[in-house]
Chain A
Amino acid sequence: MFLILKKEVFAPDTFLWEVAAPEIADAAEAGQFAMVRLKEGGERIPLTIADFDRERGTVTLVVKVVGRSTEEMATYSAGERFLDFIGPLGAPTQVKGKNHIVLVGGGLGVAPLYPILRSFKELGSGTTTILGFRTRNQIFWEERFRLLSNQLLVMTEDGSYGRHGTTIDALRFILSGEVPVDEVMTVGPIGMMQAVAEVTRPLKIPTFASMNSIMVDGIGMCGSCRITVEGKVLFACVDGPDMDAHKVDFEELKVRQNRFKKEEIASLKKYRGECALKKEGRIF
């Protein structure tokens, strides 16, 4: 069992767990993911590692409620324990010293960008960080990013905080500036990562995106997370999560992300029904 040391609620549907897992913290590198299994019969939930602290022996996850299992995760509090924690998984982000790198994070994708930023910073790279949120109350970790970024742009789609606009607007603005950019790294919704790739493609700036395709085992066995990259089948769990964003077939990925839409809706409905019955004391 793994102990949740801290829980922080960022927004109604977004929360953070800090989990005691010294061995995973010791091995983790920026860009890797982990899997949570809450209880017997539970799903293996893949989550990109948002932070790790080797001295404290902790791993931090930032989670958005998107379905049955993440909704159940949200019911856990600090001090509670969950069954299985597996990681680190996937290949770490290739962090090499660059003159200047731009990091683009959208929504939940902001979280795993943090250890990537830290790694680049440690190697002395110049960093511009672009964070995008829908609205003000979804913003988290602004200060953490500000401390390590040479330049930080916070964007909100409704203009309620920071600059009004999308991460793509900000990226265009940065790329039209005078500082030459060596590489762009992006984590976030598929549509956003695809748009980032389209902005950097004509400029021939190497661009990497973190793939969050649907997984079962996460250790290179089932092939559920396969992605077409330049016509070749690659697996996000062992070949990724980072992939060359200019080569990924994002349109296909979008369709594949809906593979279990029907089942997910039914499962969430069933779970909520059971929760309601539990509240009423009709099942235990």
Chain B
Amino acid sequence: MERRSKTILRQKVAMPEAPALERRNGFQEVSLGYTPELAKVEADRCLLCKKPLCVPGCPVAIDIPGFIRQLSDGNLPAAYEILKRSNPLPAVCGRVCPQETQCEVKCVMGRKGEPVAIGRLERFVGDWGVAHGAAEEVEARLTGKKVAIVGSGPAGIACAQDLARAGVAVTIYEALHEVGGVLVYGIPPFRLPRKIVNQEIEGLKRLGVRIERNKVIGKIFTIEQLLHTKGFDAVFIGTGAGLPKFMGIPGEHLNGVMSANEFLTRVNLMHGYEKADTPIGMGDSVIVIGAGNTALDAARTALRMGAKEVTIVYRRTEKESPARLEELRHATEEGIQFCWLTQPVRLHGDVNGSVVAMECLRMELGEPDLSGRRSPRPVTGSEFRIQADTVIYALGTVANPIIARSTPCLKVNQQGYLEIDPQTQMTSIPGVFAGGDIVTGSATVILALGAGRRAAQGILQYLGLSREEERGEGHGLTMPAVSRAG
């Protein structure tokens, strides 16, 4: 097998992208993905390490050299099969994972150049699989067990997939009218096209998973009812992110001030990007507070919805920003402005109660804090104002209280997140499992997928269905350290 050219490319093969000035006016996808030829060249950069460092960097321990070898050999079905063995949503994760802090940061190629573009290769193979409907239709022997999954986001999808493959009858209850959780209400289509999400959901349905939309568990049925009157043998809670955080500075009640959750929900879930009925409430000059992925999504969405000026305000520097590097680069190319080391202190409004400006303080970096990031402190007398008619808060979320309030024996921590056994993901109630943001607080898609899969194993064990040989190291689903990216 002749797989390597004589000289090894130091740099990643660039991925084609829509031109910045063109893409900032619409919701078409920004990154266009590798062609088969480009994917082959990039795959050939991989050294196929015997003891790969990238694999432990992956929260779900994908056999990265394994899938890249198959890709390099032109065996796409085998490459896809290897990805799917560990990651239920490769086409999604290839797009949204913070690879630069997970697998790629560990890649030995990165020592003398750029690491292998593992994310782009994952995306290429994932897209191939989705386009070819390659998710295998497992002829699982039905076990007669029934499991309810609360929430159709990444954690729920992962859990459902593993359970369905093991012959469990799965019903997903989704609170909203669209299926996919954060993949449809949060991440904008220019970063994750709806087609990809929908095809993954179709794959779930082919596995026999039932999905009921518009059912808010904790309201229409309680967890207790699911277990005792609806006849489910176990329940998995993957309800995701909760209510937005505000800062508590004066003026946050003003009109024109909203959370990134609200803005993105109006545009994504309610199809504001297709000019549907739900109003957006955005003006010409937009400030986004925060610099994580959600902040960048909101800023770039604002631009696409017609804002003339979009400014990101963050109290630390670009270096501390938790966003994916690629998103920061894309945002800059599209004309988003950044005010680093800037702390909002007050919002000013007009007589009608609408926001007109934000008052800020300049910051400087001090000593590293508990998270290892240098903590910013204000420069005295540095107050200044930025004009804005729209201010979007992207400072993360707190726990959604619906399930906890309606489930008396469910243990939560001080912040309201569910307490679980990290091995099995089981909560304080036997037969009730949980994973994803409702356990960890805001984290990544891949961590939620990992939690969903661990919970599926925990559930199978609880139901007496887990086969001995599949336990233990086989699934590679030990609890990883939480990465910094959001």
Contacts and interface: CB of A to CB of B under 8 A. Distances in A.
Interface of A: 23-24, 27, 37, 41-44, 68-69, 83-89, 91, 216-217, 219-224, 226, 228, 233, 235, 238, 249, 252, 255-256, 258-260, 263-264, 267
A92 B244 CA distance: 23
Contacts of A252: 253, 353
B281 A263 contact: yes
B277 A41 contact: yes
7 contacts: A41-B271, A43-B270, A68-B277, A84-B213, A87-B220, A217-B175, A220-B401
Contacts of A238: 243, 400-402
Contacts of A222: 244, 258-259, 261-262, 265-266
A219 B220 contact: no
B281 A259 contact: yes
Given A27-B221, A89-B216, A264 B279 contact: yes
Nearest to B278: A43
Interface string B273-289: 01011111100000000
A43 B242 CA distance: 21
B216 A86 contact: yes
A221 B255 contact: no
Contact of B255 (A68, A86, A216, A255): A255
Given A68-B277, A86-B175, 5 more contacts: A88-B219, A219-B216, A223-B246, A258-B255, A259-B281
Interface size class, chain B: 35 or more
Interface string B171-186: 0000111000000010
A221 B174 CA distance: 14
B241 interface: yes
Interface of B: 175-177, 185, 213-214, 216, 219-221, 241-244, 246, 252-253, 255-256, 258-259, 261-262, 265-266, 269-271, 274, 276-281, 352-353, 400-402, 405
Given A88-B220, A267-B279, A221 B253 contact: no
A41 B276 contact: yes
B258 A217 contact: no
A217 B265 contact: yes
A87 B177 CA distance: 12
A152 B296 CA distance: 56
Nearest to A23: B220
A231 to B, nearest CB: 9
Contacts of B242: 220-221
B278 A89 contact: no
B262 A220 contact: no
Contact of B265 (A24, A37, A87, A216): A216
A41 B400 CA distance: 26
A220 B277 contact: no
A41 B246 CA distance: 29
A219 B261 contact: no
Q: Which of A86, A249, A252, A263 has the most CB of B within 10 A?
A: A86
B276 A224 contact: no
A42 B275 CA distance: 11
* Interface of B, helix, strand, loop or mixed by DSSP: loop
A85 B176 CA distance: 10
B298 to A, nearest CB: 12
A123 B47 CA distance: 75
B177 A27 contact: no
Given A220-B402, A252-B253, A259-B281, A86 B177 contact: yes
Contacts of B402: 219-220, 238
A150 B278 CA distance: 43
B134 to A, nearest CB: 30
Contacts of A43: 270, 277-278
A263 B255 contact: no
B281 A260 contact: yes
Report the 9 A-B pairs with minimum CB-CB distance, sorted nearest first. A263-B279, A255-B353, A222-B262, A41-B276, A223-B244, A223-B259, A86-B214, A260-B279, A259-B255
B262 A224 contact: yes
A21 B401 CA distance: 25
A72 to B, nearest CB: 9
A255 B246 CA distance: 19
Nearest to B393: A223
Contacts of B261: 221-223
Given A220-B402, A221-B242, A24 B279 contact: no
B175 A216 contact: no
Contacts of A228: 253
Contacts of B185: 217, 221
A256 B258 contact: no
A227 B278 CA distance: 21
A66 B202 CA distance: 39
A232 to B, nearest CB: 10
Contacts of A84: 177, 213-214
Contacts of A235: 243
Nearest to B280: A263
A111 B262 CA distance: 29
Contacts of A83: 177
Nearest to A253: B253
Contacts of A256: 253, 255, 353
Given A44-B270, A256-B255, A217 B243 contact: no
Contacts of B405: 91
Contacts of A233: 246, 252
Contacts of A258: 255, 352-353
B417 to A, nearest CB: 14
B278 A220 contact: no
A27 B220 contact: yes
A87 B219 contact: yes
Contacts of B252: 233
Contacts of B279: 260, 263-264, 267
A104 to B, nearest CB: 26
A226 B255 CA distance: 12
